[in-house]
């Protein structure tokens, strides 16, 4: 699966678990470390885990497996690293503090909305 397709697929999976404020940052022009960031909010630590677990389960079915994940202990920010796509699932206050979209503000940014 191409990195852009994977990023949009993961965005749809986030919507299925009612994640909000979903942004897809195309950072291919800014760095070679990854192609896309997918960033979203969850309303509670339970929802952070539910979104992350859903992404892991569904991507596994399509043959995609993250190289690394972090944040399952504290659940205010879970990172799922699929190498070409890195997913960031935040509680709102943690997202505001780290401001990834501000740090990568020169990226091409797509807002993902529920249909």
CATH tag, 3-112: 3.30.460.10
pTM of the model: 0.95
What is the helix (H) or strand (E) element at residue 38, kind and residue range?
strand 36-41
pLDDT score of 105 = 86
The sheet carrying 36-41 orders its strands as: 68-70, 77-81, 85-90, 36-41, 20-26, 108-112
| pLDDT one-digit tens code per residue, 52-107 | 999 999 999 999 999 999 999 999 999 999 999 999 999 999 999 999 999 998 99
């Amino acid at each position: 699966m191409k990195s852009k397709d994977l990023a949009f697929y993961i965005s749809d999976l986030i919507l299925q678990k009612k994640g909000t404020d979903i942004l897809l940052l195309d950072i291919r022009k800014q760095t070679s470390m990854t192609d896309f960031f997918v960033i979203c909010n969850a309303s509670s630590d339970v929802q952070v885990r539910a979104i992350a677990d859903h992404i892991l389960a569904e991507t596994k079915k399509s043959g995609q497996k993250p190289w690394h994940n972090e944040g399952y202990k504290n659940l205010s920010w879970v990172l799922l690293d699929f190498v070409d796509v890195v997913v960031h699932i935040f509680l709102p206050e943690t997202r505001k503090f780290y401001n990834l979209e501000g740090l990568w503000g020169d990226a091409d940014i797509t807002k993902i909305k529920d249909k």
